[in-house]
Amino acid sequence: MADDDATLLEAWRGGDAAAGSALFERHFVSVFRFFAAKLGDVAAQDLSQRTFVAVIQSRDSLREGSKFRAYLLAVARNQLLMHLRTRGRRGVDAALEESCIDELLPSPDSALAGSEQERLIVRGLRRMPLDQQILLELHYWEELSTEELGEILGVPRGTVKSRLFRARDELRSQLASLVRDPELRESSIRDLEQWVARIRAARPAG
């Protein structure tokens, strides 16, 4: 049976390099996917490496009881925001969390691959404020709990729940504006959570 994250993290902090490698290998796909959906594969590779370097440098700052994956994705989120501040269209002083990714960067080809449903979800997400896009991706694709999301965002669970509610409503609105087929539009809005769950189940594990 594979060691859990807490066991590997404790061993890594104690100087076991193999434990650190096992942690990174376990979660690499999640981190890469987080970036690729917004920036494409080339930038995702670079930012994934930067994320793991940042985690290596700050591993001792991880609070006791915190979940490693939530901490790792919090670092990834910070790396994304730093990248957009230096490379995005709206400049350093833009309110990034309130901007949508389509305003900041061109659409990566890799993000538009997949089924019609997945393309619609990706297009809808990219038209939302960045903080809402990140919240929904981490909740649905990475299956993070409200507690873990609260750790990443630095807010209480109740705040996470209300933000998720608003983000789902925003995604429904975006899908309604994107889908021409009335039947598909109504099903996408009515069955959003089941739709996203089916897409997630069809994606590679990571």
pLDDT for residue 32 is more than 60: yes
**Is the per-residue pLDDT at 65 higher than 90?**
no
Of the two residues 150 and 121, the one the predictor is more confident about is: 150
As a whole number, mean pLDDT of residues 57-66 equals: 74
pLDDT the model gives residue 156: 95
Q: pLDDT higher for 46 or 94? A: 46
pLDDT at 73: 94
Q: What is the pLDDT of residue 147?
A: 93
Angle value at C-alpha 75, between 30 and 29, nearest 5 degrees? 15
Structure confidence at residue 92 (pLDDT): 41
Instruction: Measure the CA–CA gap between 6 and 12, rounded to whole angstroms.
Output: 10
Burial class (CB in 10 A: 0-12, 13-18, 19+), 23: buried
What is the residue range of 36's domain?
5-202
Higher confidence at residue 143 or residue 3? 143
pLDDT tops 50 at residue 162: yes
CA separation for the pair 63, 30 (Å, rounded): 21
Does position 12 have pLDDT exceeding 60, yes or no? yes
What pLDDT, on the 0 to 100 scale, is given for residue 50? 96
Q: Are 153 and 122 in contact (CB under 8 A)?
A: no
Average pLDDT over the chain reads 79
Total of domains in the chain:
1
- On the 0-12 / 13-18 / 19+ scale of CB atoms within 10 A, 41 is middle
Of the candidate ranges 86-90, 117-121, 154-158, 196-200, the one whose mean pLDDT is the lowest: 86-90
> Which pLDDT does position 106 carry in this prediction?
47
Q: What's the pLDDT score for residue 109? A: 42
Q: What whole-number distance in Å separates Cα of residue 109 and Cα of residue 23? A: 29
What CATH code is carried by the domain that includes residue 97?
Answer: 1.10.1740.10
The reported pTM is 0.77
Do 111 and 125 form a contact (C-beta atoms < 8 A)? no
DSSP 181: S
